Amino acid sequence: MDENNRVIGRIVNGVGLVAACFLMIGCASFEESGLPGSASSMARNQMMVVRQKPASFGYYRLTSLTRIYPDLEFFVKKLGVPDFLAETESEHQDYFILYYLKKRQAFACRSHLGRQHAIQFAGPYPITKRELEMLDGFRKRGVR
């Protein structure tokens, strides 16, 4: 009887763990969960082409970020869709660089610690000739 109770206890604990995972995932969309295979996990430490037609991963990622950061949405509506998006993170902050090749400008963005959905912008920064040639080459070759 004691052995049956232990087995049942293990099963209940396992089911509870699975339920807790589903509840955690349910609190955020899978895309922003950071779980393996999610857009946020695949975009970490990446440089992405942002192309609307056909839509690139970078474009999907940018539209996802504009839903999280309303200031970023306003910024993109004002300046237009960038050609490239770079994304990385540290412990509690996200960092993005938006590259506009025609204007030869880049803007840096970072999320604020403790202020959900807030983002800070810096720039414009000039894009060097070498950066421009490299990024334009990626864009022309269709690197995603």
pLDDT in tens, 79-113: 999 999 999 888 778 899 999 999 999 999 998 76
Q: Is the pLDDT of residue 137 over 70?
A: yes
Q: β-strand 115-126 against 105-112: which pairing, if any?
A: antiparallel
pLDDT in tens, 59-86: 999 999 999 899 999 999 999 999 999 9
Match 């963005």 to its residue by tokens: 109
Domain spans in the chain, listed from the N-terminal domain onward: 1-29, 34-141
Upstream peptide bond of 126 is cis (omega within 30 degrees of 0)? no
Distance spanning both ends of the chain, measured CA to CA: 59
| DSSP annotation string for 40-93 | HHHHTTEEEE--TTTTPHHHHHHHHHHHH-HHHHHHHHHH---SEEEEEE-SS-
How many angstroms separate the CA atoms of 50 and 126, rounded? 19
Q: What's the pTM?
A: 0.68
- Which pLDDT score is estimated for 136? 87
